[in-house]
Amino acid sequence: MKEEMSPFFSAVAELAGSRGFEVAGVNEGALTLNLNGKFAAMVDETGAMNYHPYKEVFDMMDEVLKIRAEIPYDTSEEGMQLNM
């Protein structure tokens, strides 16, 4: 599964795994993380998170943002662009 992940998702998955999260994979452009078999968070390529308010997720948020700042984000592949 890791080979299909972007460098950012791979780094977040490694961090999450070290914190006890299970990586459920990438779905619809977001990395899904579970905790104790239940949904915990989704992280998209921008670093934005949709999450359940678990303490473990809050404890990891700053590190996810730090990873996003360290790994360049290529917006050229993101969505449709308007050519004028």
Which pLDDT value is given to residue 75? Answer: 60
Nearest CA-CA partner of 45 in 28, 29, 23 = 29
Tell me if 54 sits within 8 A of 22, measured CB to CB.
no
Name which residue leads in pLDDT, 74 or 71: 71
Which pLDDT value is given to residue 76? Answer: 52
Domains defined for the chain, CATH in brackets: 2-73 (3.30.310)
Task: Please write the tens of the pLDDT for every residue from 39-62.
Answer: 999 999 999 999 999 999 999 999
Tell me if 57 sits within 8 A of 51, measured CB to CB.
yes
- Name the residue type at position 5: M
What integer is the mean pLDDT of 66-83?
68
